[in-house]
Amino acid sequence: MPEVRLVGPNGEQVGIVAINDALRLAQEADLDLVEVAPTARPPVAKLMDYGKFKYESALKARESRKHQAQTVIKEIKLRPKIDPHDYGTKKGHVERFLRQGDKVKVTIMFRGREQSRPDLGYRLLQKLAGDVEELGFVESQPKQDGRNMIMVIGPHKRKPDRTVPRPGPRAQRAGQPVPPPRGAEQNGPGPAVAAAEPAEQGAADAPTAI
C-alpha cells in the first residue's frame, strides 16, 4: 500500500499521501492511523484516537439497545374453579411480569362440563384484571378460543424494572501496533495503525487494518 487518501481528525481532506507520510503525521499528532475505506482506490485512512473511537461507539450501541422496544409476552394458565391459594400464586406471577414491562396472556382452560359455563372464566379474568390494574391494563378483552378463553394484559407505560449493567471503565487506547513499511525506520517508530472495529457484530462497512 504505497499511498492513502488521508482524512484529518476533524474530517478535513488532507489528500493523497504516501503511507510513510501518513504515519509521520499520525505520530506528530499523537493519533492513530485507521483505515476506514479499504475498498477505495486509493484506500481512505483517517487520523483519530482509536481508543476514544471504540469507547464512543460502545456508548452509542448501548444507548441504541436501551431505546429498542423489547416486547415479551408471557403466558399464565388458569382453571375456572382455581383454588384461592393457586390464584394468589398465579396473580403474583402476572404482577412480576408486568413490573418487568412484559405483556401477559392469560388463558382460562375449560374441561368437560366447564365448557358450558364460560361466564366462570369471564368473571375470573375480570377479577384478575381488577387485582393488577395498578400495574397493567386489559389490552385484549376476553374472547373464546375453542376450549379456552384468552385475555391479554399490557403493562402501563413506565420504566421496566430490569437491572441495567453500569457502563464499564473508560476504554483505553486500543489497536495493535504494527511495524511501519520498509524504509520508514529512518523516520523513527510510527504510531499504532489499527482497524476500527464496529461496536456491534454485523455492522456494515467495517474498516480493516492497513
Last residue of a domain, one of 126, 155, 184: 155
Cross-strand bridge partners of residue 74: 104
| pLDDT confidence of residue 208 | 46
Quick one: 77 and 148 in the same domain? yes
| pLDDT confidence of residue 40 | 87
Quick one: 38 and 106 in the same domain? no
Three-class SS string for 100-143?
CCCEEEEEEECCHHHHHCHHHHHHHHHHHHHHCCCCEEEEEEEE
pLDDT interval class at 165 (50, 70, 90): very low
Looking up residue 91, the CATH number of its domain turns out to be 3.30.110.10
Q: Could you report the per-residue pLDDT of 70-89, keeping only the tens digit for each?
A: 667 899 999 999 999 999 99
Q: Is residue 167 part of a domain?
A: no
Task: Please give the grid coordinates belonging to residue 14.
Answer: 488532507
- Give dist(CA 207, CA 193) in Å, integer: 12
Q: Could you report the per-residue pLDDT of 183-204, keeping only the tens digit for each?
A: 544 444 445 555 554 444 444 4
Quick one: 147 and 89 in the same domain? yes
Quick one: 134 and 187 in the same domain? no
6-10, 64-68, 164-168 — which is least confidently predicted?
A: 164-168
161-166 mean pLDDT: 50
Quick one: 142 and 187 in the same domain? no
Quick one: 78 and 117 in the same domain? yes
| pLDDT confidence of residue 193 | 52
Domain of 110 in residue numbering reads as 73-155
Q: Could you report the per-residue pLDDT of 93-143, keeping only the tens digit for each?
A: 999 999 998 999 999 999 988 888 899 999 999 999 999 999 999 999 999
Task: Please give the grid coordinates belonging to residue 130.
Answer: 381488577
Above pLDDT 70, what percent of the chain? Answer: 72
The answer to whether residue 36 scores a pLDDT higher than 60 is yes
Q: Look at residues 199, 154, 174, 175 and name the one whose alpha carbon lies nearest to residue 56.
A: 199
Mean pLDDT of the chain: 79
| pLDDT confidence of residue 171 | 39
Q: Is residue 61 part of a domain?
A: no
Domain count, the chain: 2
Q: Is residue 208 part of a domain?
A: no
Q: Is residue 210 part of a domain?
A: no
Q: Is residue 96 part of a domain?
A: yes
Nearest 10 degrees: CA dihedral of 87, 89, 93, 99?
100
Q: Is residue 160 part of a domain?
A: no
Q: Could you report the per-residue pLDDT of 6-33, keeping only the tens digit for each?
A: 998 888 898 898 988 888 888 988 999 8
pTM of whole model > 0.95?
no
Looking up residue 178, the CATH number of its domain turns out to be 3.10.20.80
DSSP letter at 42 equals S
Last residue of a domain, one of 155, 182, 203: 155
Task: Give me the amino acid identity at 138.
Answer: V
- Give DSSP secondary structure letters for 135-204: TEEEEEEEEEETTEEEEEEEE-SS----PPPPP-SPPPP-----PPPTT-GGG-PPPPEEE---SSTT-S
Quick one: 84 and 131 in the same domain? yes
Residue with the three cell numbers 504510531: 191
CB within 8 Å of 160: residues ≥ 6 apart: 99, 100, 101
Quick one: 44 and 100 in the same domain? no
From residue 6, how far is each of 1, 93, 137 by CA, in Å? 13, 59, 58
Quick one: 189 and 145 in the same domain? no
Task: Give me the amino acid identity at 100.
Answer: Q
| pLDDT confidence of residue 21 | 87
